[in-house]
Amino acid sequence: MEIKFCKNRINLIHSFGISRSSNDYYDIIYVYILDGDIIARGEAAPSKRYHESTELILSVLKKGLNVPESSSSKEHLWDFLKPQLKGISSLEAAVNMAVWDWSAQKEKLPLFNLFGFKDEILPKTSYTIAIGNLNELDERLEESEQCSILKVKLGAPNNDKEIIRKIRAKTDKLIRIDANEGWDYEMAKNMAFWLADRNVEFIEQPFPAINLKDTKKLKSISPLPLIADENSILSTDLNCLVDCFDGINIKLMKCGSFDEALKMIDLAKKLELKIMLGCMVESSVGITAAAHLSSACDFIDLDGNLLIKDDPYDGVKIENGHLELSPSKVGLGLDLKQKKFGLF
């Protein structure tokens, strides 16, 4: 058994803007576990919001990861590898994906079977309309045709209502709003009531994560549910969110592993919090990995691979707006479609 890694740049079809940043590309890291005929894969898509970067990840990987001489279980392999990852959540996510992929391939099962999930119709995913040039809006809406739900990024100064008006002039698709910590209380209050009449399902992360006081106040009057993203990192965060949010957004890049994501799903259900499964801008490795959890969640936002030009892998598909995983493919169920140095 050996571990390899590769840095890869994924270029976006359009600039991806949110309330605090805009990007034309993202650098990600692929991690591979090679064991005989098995090629197990994982992806790290680090976020500056959580003080992570590809440079930080490479500083760990270039020193080399020790692997056990033999490993009979994913638990043993993960326990051996995790302490070497320096607490970098996106790197932990990548290695953990590869560990679960390795285990599922050894068992000759699709990964969702290892989680105890069956082959069934998966939920619909939303398609993100990021903050950007409004002249490109028609083109972006055309690109979203395969999805019946839109996730619209807001938090742009003095422009939020105009974005929604322009979208509503073109489509009546269900909309989910993500403010990415971009509003103050008065703006959020105004927008919540204004959006409630425009076929909007919920509002994600209206305020900075430190502002739970205003979040709690908004929840008490908002006609729309509130979903935590930047406040929802680990299972240990959830108990203090119950009075402030109606649901949580779980992302593997934030929580660091399938194991932690499953804990979050279990606890959220006990706390009667709705569960959204989200992503960063990722290729089909990370998106497909997360899709294996989707049948346990209420809302799905796994579209990162739809927003990029040069995805080197094939994985999860979209059929009539629903995610679709092949029950005949073992592990994550990925195929390399773009042969390139360093990719497996």
Do 21 and 92 reside in the same domain of the chain? yes
Do 89 and 186 reside in the same domain of the chain? no
In angstroms, the CA 235 to CA 239 distance is 8
Do 185 and 319 reside in the same domain of the chain? yes
Do 136 and 256 reside in the same domain of the chain? yes
What is the domain-level CATH number for residue 175?
3.20.20.120
The pLDDT, as a whole number, for residue 132 is: 85
The pLDDT, as a whole number, for residue 133 is: 83
The answer to whether residue 299 is domain-embedded is yes
CA 225 centroid distance within chain: 20
Q: List, in order, residues 6 or more apart from 178 with CB less than 8 Å away.
A: 18, 128, 151, 152, 153, 154, 203, 204, 205, 229
Do 151 and 240 reside in the same domain of the chain? yes
What is the domain-level CATH number for residue 48?
3.30.390.10
Q: What is the pLDDT of residues 102-120, one digit of tens each?
A: 999 999 999 999 999 987 7
In angstroms, the CA 225 to CA 308 distance is 30
**Exposed / middle / buried, residue 109 (Cβ in 10 Å: 0-12, 13-18, 19+):** middle
User: Which sign, positive or negative, has the C-alpha torsion 188, 21, 128, 239?
Assistant: negative
The pLDDT, as a whole number, for residue 201 is: 98
The pLDDT, as a whole number, for residue 149 is: 98
The answer to whether residue 155 is domain-embedded is yes
The pLDDT, as a whole number, for residue 198 is: 97
pTM of the model: 0.96
Do 174 and 60 reside in the same domain of the chain? no
The answer to whether residue 163 is domain-embedded is yes
Quick check: helix, strand or coil at residue 12?
Answer: strand
Do 323 and 278 reside in the same domain of the chain? yes
Pairing of strands 335-336, 313-314: antiparallel
Do 96 and 168 reside in the same domain of the chain? no
- C-alpha dihedral, 218 to 221 to 223 to 224, nearest 10°: 20
| The amino acid at 329 | K
Do 78 and 189 reside in the same domain of the chain? no
The answer to whether residue 221 is domain-embedded is yes
| The amino acid at 338 | Q
The answer to whether residue 342 is domain-embedded is no
The pLDDT, as a whole number, for residue 70 is: 81
User: Where is the domain boundary, 83, 109, 135?
Assistant: 109
The pLDDT, as a whole number, for residue 221 is: 98
Do 42 and 167 reside in the same domain of the chain? no
Q: Report yes or no: 32 and 192 within 8 Å, Cβ to Cβ.
A: no
User: Where is the domain boundary, 84, 109, 134?
Assistant: 109
Do 172 and 315 reside in the same domain of the chain? yes
Give the length of the chain: 344
Q: What is the pLDDT of residues 275-305, one digit of tens each?
A: 999 999 999 999 999 999 999 999 999 999 9
Do 312 and 211 reside in the same domain of the chain? yes
The answer to whether residue 309 is domain-embedded is yes
Q: Report yes or no: 282 and 310 within 8 Å, Cβ to Cβ.
A: no
Quick check: helix, strand or coil at residue 151?
Answer: strand
CA distances from 70 to 64, 67, 97, 103, 211 (A): 17, 8, 19, 13, 48
Work out how many domains the chain is built from and give that number: 2
Residue 1 tokens, joined = 């058994």
Domain of residue 302, residue span: 126-336
Q: What is the pLDDT tens value at each position of the chain, 344 positions in all?
A: 999 999 999 999 999 999 888 899 999 999 999 999 999 999 999 999 999 999 999 999 999 999 998 888 999 999 999 999 999 999 999 999 999 999 999 999 999 999 999 877 899 999 999 998 888 999 999 999 999 999 999 998 779 999 999 999 999 999 999 999 999 999 999 999 999 999 999 999 999 999 999 999 999 999 999 999 999 999 999 999 999 999 999 999 999 999 999 999 999 999 999 999 999 999 999 999 999 999 999 999 999 999 999 899 999 999 999 999 999 999 999 999 978 778 89
The answer to whether residue 343 is domain-embedded is no
User: Where is the domain boundary, 62, 81, 109?
Assistant: 109
The pLDDT, as a whole number, for residue 255 is: 98
The answer to whether residue 115 is domain-embedded is no
The crossing angle, in degrees rounded to 10, of helices 89-107 and 258-270 is 100
